[in-house]
Chain A
């Protein structure tokens, strides 16, 4: 439960930083998707049964926080991203910044594609795809660039907190 709240709070912090700080500071609307990076992190470092649920909740948080007219597209997309990345996680050397950046790049495109396909089924707008083609590469590249740095901090806080709790639980037993 604590782990769940920790990830939700990290997601919320990411969304506030994205929407209130980075959007003001960075030019051309080129803002990294910190929640997506968190989902990729989850796929690498929380390879448990509750992983898909955590990813789903992070995606839902994104849907709730944004002014999206639908609830669910990003939640579904986050689950798929989690599943795909976690399937390859054991074969990838995530300590390499380049590999990590590439994984986040691909994950970002995948996330956009799935969320857009779902959105377009329920809210058909002509310009959705042109908007997506214009912004998706920007977001994917920026997310890939910042991912190694974000991973470093997430490892410091989330994994340490997780390990600390596992350690405490083992001792209490």
Chain B
């Protein structure tokens, strides 16, 4: 085994203890002053974003090349004579399919923007949190594009999360599925309120819904708009499991989020209060229509 230097146990212990407590001190300070962590994050983002964007471009290109390669293998098996002609067509086709998919996703996002007069920006995902137990993404839009801390991020199907820090050209989004995420929510059918908390991965939990309240598997959960971050009425997910009643005060409800976080490629950041108001008005109209239908 290679040992490069001289080992001095007493000094190493001393330094280690000192640095350990420095870490604790820093944690305590950053807990009281969240802007410290955000400032640090912003500096790192400024340095890392160009590299992340480059890696993202390379990643997409490699995916395309791989897709093209597999198409080629299929064509070779089918007919040697047509291989040369088909390979070009398949490569083109694969690329166009990719563009079509991206187009479709962007159209859904833009349509949402047009229909509800929501002002916002569409963004690409360029990175994920390196750890496995923190659920967050990095998007390629920052405060230069009007993306700031506290703004809500959605996808065609529902809520993705909210912006927790923003640098010049990128921003970090805390996903709904993160354990630190808590969203004031409503069960759409019964209007019972609860707090949606992330469980990591693909699940979330709806807390503080009284056990006397009526909840069924398949019920839709939407945002209440009371937390000051998310507009009212955005789709969060559906009830996937409920623990049987056990004389508790609250239900134990498991939620399947509306968005498949691992398959996300583009998102939409709501950048204006007007946009939030427009969405809320739309939801109010929907509720009136629903009530009328009920009558």
Contacts and interface: CB of A to CB of B under 8 A. Distances in A.
B134 A67 contact: yes
Given A127-B198, A127-B200, A135 B12 contact: no
B278 interface: no
Given A30-B132, A123-B180, A162-B4, A52 B27 contact: no
A7 to B, nearest CB: 13
Contacts of A63: 37, 40
A64 interface: yes
A56 B19 contact: yes
Contacts of B131: 33, 62, 66, 68, 139
A65 B131 CA distance: 10
Contacts of B205: 127
Nearest to B44: A64
Interface stretch (B52-60, B76-84, B281-289): B52-60
Given A71-B27, A79-B23, A127-B199, A45 B2 contact: yes
A66 B197 contact: no
A27 to B, nearest CB: 9
B59 A21 contact: yes
Nearest to B8: A49
A126 interface: yes
A149 B82 CA distance: 43
Contacts, number: 213
A138 B132 CA distance: 9
A150 B182 CA distance: 37
B130 A18 contact: yes
Contacts of A75: 19, 22-23, 26
B4 A159 contact: yes
B2 A159 contact: yes
Interface in A44-90: 44-49, 51-53, 55-56, 59-73, 75-77, 79-80, 82-83, 86, 89-90
A49 B27 contact: no
Contacts of B44: 61, 64-65
B55 A20 contact: yes
Interface residues of B, number: 65
Interface stretch (B28-36, B85-93, B99-107, B116-124): B28-36
A132 interface: yes
B179 A128 contact: yes
Given A67-B164, A67-B174, A131-B179, A20 B56 contact: yes
B13 interface: yes
A69 B181 CA distance: 12
25 contacts: A16-B52, A19-B52, A19-B138, A24-B128, A34-B130, A49-B12, A49-B15, A62-B130, A63-B40, A65-B130, A67-B129, A68-B37, A69-B31, A69-B34, A70-B27, A71-B36, A72-B25, A75-B23, A83-B16, A95-B1, A125-B179, A125-B180, A135-B200, A138-B132, A162-B4
Interface of A: 12, 15-16, 18-21, 23-24, 29-31, 33-35, 44-49, 51-53, 55-56, 59-73, 75-77, 79-80, 82-83, 86, 89-90, 92-95, 112, 118-119, 121-123, 125-128, 130-132, 134-136, 138-139, 155, 159, 162-163, 166
* Top 5 A-B pairs, shortest CB-CB distance: A76-B23, A72-B26, A72-B27, A48-B5, A122-B31
Given A19-B129, A79-B23, A134-B133, 18 more contacts: A23-B128, A24-B59, A45-B3, A52-B16, A53-B15, A64-B37, A65-B130, A66-B129, A76-B19, A76-B22, A93-B1, A112-B133, A122-B28, A127-B179, A131-B133, A134-B200, A139-B131, A162-B4
